[in-house]
Structure 1
Amino acid sequence: MLASRFGAAAVAIMCAASAPAFADDTLKKLGQFQSTGAPGEIPQVEQGGKKAENLRAIAPKIKVPDGFKVELYAIVPDARHMAVGTNVGVVFVGTRKTKAWAVTDRDGDDVADEVKEFAPSIKKSNPNGMCFTPDGFLYMAEHNRVLLFPAAEFFYESPDVAVEVIAEQLIPKAEESFNHGARACVVGPDDKLYIPLGQPFNVPPKDKLPLYDEQGMSGIIRMDRDGKNREVFALGVRNSVGLAFNPKNGELWFTDNQVDGMGDDIPPGELNRATKAGQNFGFPWYGGGMVRTKEYQGEQPPADAVKPEIEFAAHAADLGMRFYTGEQFPEKYRGGIFVAEHGSWNRKKPVGARIMFVTLKADGSADKAEVFADGWLDDKTGRYLGRPVDVAVALDGSLLVSDDLSGAIWRISYKD
């Protein structure tokens, strides 16, 4: 455990008013943490120069509906999943490398002034997942560990931060793999932490299924905010890297990346809805949608396997997703779902690298999907100008899009 040089008392004053019992327990521990003695300088990312100029030249190539505008918000190396602070709007950004970032727009001009490495004194491994609790606690989901930062948005400018390891191991060490190892996370209305666990195979061998079912690999797990009472919430999920709760009814939605090597146009990517705990979403019997895998063709799939709400283009790599909770966009978009498609890697004609939008019906089920922002993939050359990973709603209602290829965060805004 590490400690902030600002002291436990300051943390307690800022957080105790809204913190639950768990938060109080965590804050009491801060005074026992040991300082890392990290130096005062924090690595920063230059926001100007040729890099910024080249990225700004991409923005006009991104096609969006009338009234919307795409601009460069920040240069953020390897930018992946994002969590937006609710106090001053600091954007915490994960990566699949060894660093995480804190992005700040200090002067309120809708362009980041400062991108600093977040918690550089802590050694990280694939810190992809970032998510906030309603009372301002930040979780970082690494490949095989979960960290909790009780006051990230207040003390992000210190190299020496308060942190607690709440889950030392998500999967058995023998199952660790960079393949399908990027975690996402979200805190549910039940005040539990939800994390999808992708399994490391394209299609897992049958002898692995008992272990994976037990661990929640090829599934989604949940636990108390302090890491206790871990349980498997859903199975039959190949590799989800994006999930969010519908704020209207508390149902969990998530993307899923489906089996490679089955052909250019099969199987589809998925957007799924979990209406209760214990559901199975069909993998590995189904490779995506209702397309059966060769490896499990002769096996009986679960009779109650849940079909996807939306089937996306095959191999478009649907990753981060978010319900639009802002008010800046027109009424059509409020309460709908934005999904980031990273783009294909094993398709003769590439597809994806865009933002999709999904409308919902009155009963809470999906209605239809449409392209919202497109152009990071040059259709003529097949070259990627960027690869969207995640979407997040900024405090002003604009939409932030992370891009790990160009190392950027884009801002999509609307004006009549």
Structure 2
Amino acid sequence: MTTLKFYPAVLSLGLLAACGGPSKQEKAEAQANTPADTVATAATNVKLPEPYATESTTKRSKVIGWPQGKTPTVPAGFTIQEYAGNFQSPRWAYITPSGDVLIAEANTVPTTTKKKVTAALDLDPSKSLRETSANRITLLRDTNKDGKPDVRETFLANQSQPLGMLVLGQYFYVGNTDGVWRFPYQAGQTKITGKGEKILSLPKGGYNNHWTRNLLASPDGKKIYVSVGSGSNVMEHGAENEVRRANILEINPDGSGERVYASGLRNPVGMDWAKSTGKLWTAVNERDELGDELVPDYLTSVQEGAFYGWPYSYFGQHEDPRRKGERPDLVKKAVVPEVPLGPHTASLGLAIYDGQAFPAKYQGGAFIGQHGSWNRSAFSGYKVVFVPFNNGKPTGGMEDFVTGFIANEENKEVYGRPVGITEMPDGSLLVLDDAGEKVWRVVAM
């Protein structure tokens, strides 16, 4: 039987009522007293505005799709082309040991009457909310090695919003929104045929797109790490709604031995290892409704047993006014992340580049897929960024790598929205565009 060790920030809280927001006078005073500083490129130099220095704004993108022949933009020395298309919300990719590409197709589904009507009438222009989810994993195989798949099969169907995938030993694992499943697997098979078993139950769904559950094996294959996003923006539904959420969990390959590896991570989706140091890294999607410049998403190493602030503070010891005074002990111990990734960018995908096909500058560095903002007056994200590393540590701030997803900001139009980032065995990079329903491949010339 699995022994549970609950999220330390909420275990002793009991039931808390959500705090009210600031008055108009408090907002005005915050705006008047906020310096024009913006987030610097190094975590030690980050200067953040006061909460509510600007009004919380909703600006949702309208996805118009990619015109024929149109592609995203990459730096000089690289090319980008469509690897495969005609998916239904391709959100995540995994490369099997035999080199097959698995694509998880899933999206947010409506849970309330209002959202069901919105989805049924196709009234969500951002393509985040749809009436149904494909709930499948598609296999792509490139048999002639020309850089384009020529085999396409449904690898696994009838899942529950799958995202993370993993081959470990003789099993294929999938992270569904409500739990981790494993299936008998043999290298090279194009379809799962054996009966699966649920090895770990998880809290289903979550705030906005926090239904995603990513999986990552430890380098020695003895542990599996599971990312579980928060069930709310800032614990407004009470502590009981956040048990085992906003965490990276660690389990054994059979699902036993569950423990919280790190907590206070609002929505840690992308995870990867820095091979030179053996450290775990994650990209974290931070909270909303504190203004245009708050709160920056971030890239951070994950320290075992550490607490990263959510919901009580952000980016270290910046206390969230909506949870003011509740847990000063946890605010004091909140770890400062290494690299800010911009406010409201929805930084989700993460791949630490291990190959040698890209120029030396990119080797060992981190690529992050930014799905794009909705809670900001000007768009942020909607691109893939790169953070340089040296000896397993970041040496600078983020820089643009794949851009061109925004078609016309004035009209709120975007061609697509990048999410998952996956390195191929040949050193090329796959960029999953769930709203554009394509998978792009970036190659160094």
Range of TM-score over shorter length: 0.7 to 0.9
- Contact 1:145/1:165 (8 A) holds in 2: no
Look up the equivalent residue of 1:303 and give its one-letter code: K
Alignment of 1:398-413 (within 5 A): 398-413=428-443
Q: Secondary structure at the match of 1:332?
A: helix
User: Mean alpha-carbon deviation: is it higher for 140-149 or for 66-75?
Assistant: 140-149
Q: Secondary structure at the match of 1:155?
A: coil
Of 160, 165, 172 in structure 2, the residue corresponding to residue 138 of structure 1 is 172
Look up the equivalent residue of 2:383 and give its one-letter code: R
Q: Secondary structure at the match of 2:388?
A: strand
- Establish whether residue 124 from structure 1 lines up as the match of residue 159 from structure 2: yes
Alpha carbons of 1:303 and 1:178: their partners in 2 closer, same or farther (altered >3 Å)? Answer: closer
Look up the equivalent residue of 1:78 and give its one-letter code: S
**How far off is 1:318 after superposition?**
0.2
Of 391, 399, 409 in structure 1, the residue corresponding to residue 421 of structure 2 is 391
- Establish whether residue 328 from structure 1 lines up as the match of residue 338 from structure 2: no
Alignment of 1:166-245 (within 5 A): 166-171=198-203, 179-190=209-220, 191-205=222-236, 207-208=238-239, 212=242, 215-245=243-273
Distance, in Å, in 2 between the alignment partners of 1:137 and 1:144 is 19
**How far off is 1:366 after superposition?**
5.0
Could you tell me which residue of structure 1 aligns to residue 76 of structure 2?
Answer: 66
Distance, in Å, in 2 between the alignment partners of 1:405 and 1:113 is 23
Q: CA RMSD in A?
A: 2.4
Of 104, 120, 123 in structure 1, the residue corresponding to residue 141 of structure 2 is 104
- Contact 2:77/2:444 (8 A) holds in 1: yes
- Contact 2:215/2:227 (8 A) holds in 1: yes
- Establish whether residue 57 from structure 1 lines up as the match of residue 84 from structure 2: no
- Contact 1:94/1:130 (8 A) holds in 2: no
Alpha carbons of 1:111 and 1:351: their partners in 2 closer, same or farther (altered >3 Å)? Answer: same
Could you tell me which residue of structure 2 aligns to residue 30 of structure 1?
Answer: none
Look up the equivalent residue of 1:73 and give its one-letter code: Y
Could you tell me which residue of structure 2 aligns to residue 258 of structure 1?
Answer: 286
Alpha carbons of 1:187 and 1:340: their partners in 2 closer, same or farther (altered >3 Å)? Answer: same
Look up the equivalent residue of 2:137 and give its one-letter code: A
- Contact 2:90/2:103 (8 A) holds in 1: no
- Contact 2:315/2:336 (8 A) holds in 1: no
Of 151, 156, 161 in structure 1, the residue corresponding to residue 185 of structure 2 is 151
Could you tell me which residue of structure 2 aligns to residue 77 of structure 1?
Answer: 88
Look up the equivalent residue of 2:102 and give its one-letter code: V
**How far off is 1:89 after superposition?**
3.0
Any idea what the Cα deviations from partners look like across 1:13-69, whole Å, max 9, x if unmatched?
xxxxxxxxxxxxxxxxxxxxxxxxxxxxxxxxxxxxxxxx9565221xx22211100
**How far off is 1:258 after superposition?**
1.0
- Establish whether residue 354 from structure 1 lines up as the match of residue 383 from structure 2: yes
| Structure 2: gaps spanning 5 or more residues | 1-64, 108-132
Distance, in Å, in 1 between the alignment partners of 2:163 and 2:391 is 34
Distance, in Å, in 2 between the alignment partners of 1:177 and 1:259 is 10
Alpha carbons of 1:55 and 1:245: their partners in 2 closer, same or farther (altered >3 Å)? Answer: farther
Of 277, 287, 306 in structure 2, the residue corresponding to residue 279 of structure 1 is 306
Distance, in Å, in 2 between the alignment partners of 1:243 and 1:205 is 27
Alpha carbons of 1:379 and 1:298: their partners in 2 closer, same or farther (altered >3 Å)? Answer: farther
Distance, in Å, in 1 between the alignment partners of 2:403 and 2:312 is 33
- Contact 2:276/2:391 (8 A) holds in 1: no
Q: Secondary structure at the match of 1:154?
A: coil
- Contact 2:364/2:390 (8 A) holds in 1: no
**How far off is 1:270 after superposition?**
1.1
**How far off is 1:304 after superposition?**
2.2
Could you tell me which residue of structure 1 aligns to residue 34 of structure 2?
Answer: none
Could you tell me which residue of structure 2 aligns to residue 162 of structure 1?
Answer: 194
Distance, in Å, in 2 between the alignment partners of 1:374 and 1:136 is 39
Look up the equivalent residue of 1:220 and give its one-letter code: I
- Contact 2:102/2:137 (8 A) holds in 1: no
Alpha carbons of 1:207 and 1:78: their partners in 2 closer, same or farther (altered >3 Å)? Answer: closer
Could you tell me which residue of structure 2 aligns to residue 18 of structure 1?
Answer: none
Look up the equivalent residue of 2:182 and give its one-letter code: L
Look up the equivalent residue of 2:94 and give its one-letter code: A
Distance, in Å, in 2 between the alignment partners of 1:356 and 1:235 is 25
**How far off is 1:114 after superposition?**
3.5
**How far off is 1:115 after superposition?**
3.0
Alpha carbons of 1:221 and 1:366: their partners in 2 closer, same or farther (altered >3 Å)? Answer: farther
Normalised by the size of structure 2, how large is the TM-score? 0.73
Distance, in Å, in 1 between the alignment partners of 2:207 and 2:264 is 19
Any idea what the Cα deviations from partners look like across 1:262-288, whole Å, max 9, x if unmatched?
11111101111113x210011111245
Alpha carbons of 1:294 and 1:412: their partners in 2 closer, same or farther (altered >3 Å)? Answer: same
Could you tell me which residue of structure 2 aligns to residue 297 of structure 1?
Answer: 324
Q: Secondary structure at the match of 2:393?
A: coil
**How far off is 1:153 after superposition?**
4.8
Distance, in Å, in 2 between the alignment partners of 1:364 and 1:84 is 25
Distance, in Å, in 2 between the alignment partners of 1:337 and 1:410 is 18
Alpha carbons of 1:267 and 1:178: their partners in 2 closer, same or farther (altered >3 Å)? Answer: closer
| Structure 1: gaps spanning 5 or more residues | 1-52
Distance, in Å, in 2 between the alignment partners of 1:325 and 1:115 is 27
Distance, in Å, in 1 between the alignment partners of 2:350 and 2:80 is 18
User: Mean alpha-carbon deviation: is it higher for 361-370 or for 255-264?
Assistant: 361-370
**How far off is 1:296 after superposition?**
1.4
Any idea what the Cα deviations from partners look like across 1:320-360, whole Å, max 9, x if unmatched?
10111112101111111111000112222111111111112
